[in-house]
Amino acid sequence: MTETAQALPSFLREAEQQSWTYQELLVALCNHEEQRREEKTRLKYLKWAQFPFEKSLEDFDPKESVSLSKRQIDQLKEYDWLDQMFNLVLLGPPGVGKTHIAIGLGLEAIERGKQVTFISMGELISLLKTEGYVRKSAIRLKRMREADLVIIDDMMFMAMETNEANLFFQLISDLYEKSSIILTSNKGPDS
């Protein structure tokens, strides 16, 4: 119970003052340990996600969106799609909130104990091309492959060479039925 070690003296004082039974003291200590571990895990997952900014879904105003209603956002917040490993594609012109929604969903997923990774398409291609010989790239891609949710921002922002497309396809294949993916793009598939 490493997380509780520092708090033990204050728990013992409170147990003495409140006349706790041994069982009540143990329950309080175990609850504290569990809460601290969950908080440390949440902070670690938040760091690993590498969001460019933190904006929650509550900060998103559906009235400003022409294509997403409050009901649809509330339905996404139920997270059935994440539990079933479904994928989401958010398409639309710049400035409509695609990245905001993706990050908001990612933050909520972390609060639910899920591991999330956020990456732009340009950065992803760079990581994929250097995975074999740059340790930092290999570590980041390993975390991505282990994540419950992978968010790829600006999917069709750049044209890919054949080799890059093959590397990207291999990553998507690795994630298939292991993770949910959210893709954001300014362009539709026919663009």
For 28-67, the pLDDT digits (tens) are: 999 999 999 999 999 999 999 999 999 888 888 776 665 7
Report the C-alpha gap between 3 and 156 in whole angstroms: 45
Q: C-alpha dihedral over 150, 154, 159, 165, to 10 degrees?
A: 10
pTM of the model: 0.84
- Token pair in block for residue 41: 């895990």
Q: Where are the domains of the chain?
A: 8-43, 50-185
Does the domain at 50-185 match CATH 3.40.50.300? Answer given as yes
Q: List, for residues 4-36, the tens digit of each pLDDT value.
A: 888 899 999 999 999 999 999 999 999 999 999
List, for residues 156-190, the tens digit of each pLDDT value: 766 788 899 999 999 999 999 899 999 999 876 55
What is the Cα–Cα distance from 137 to 143, expressed in whole angstroms? 10
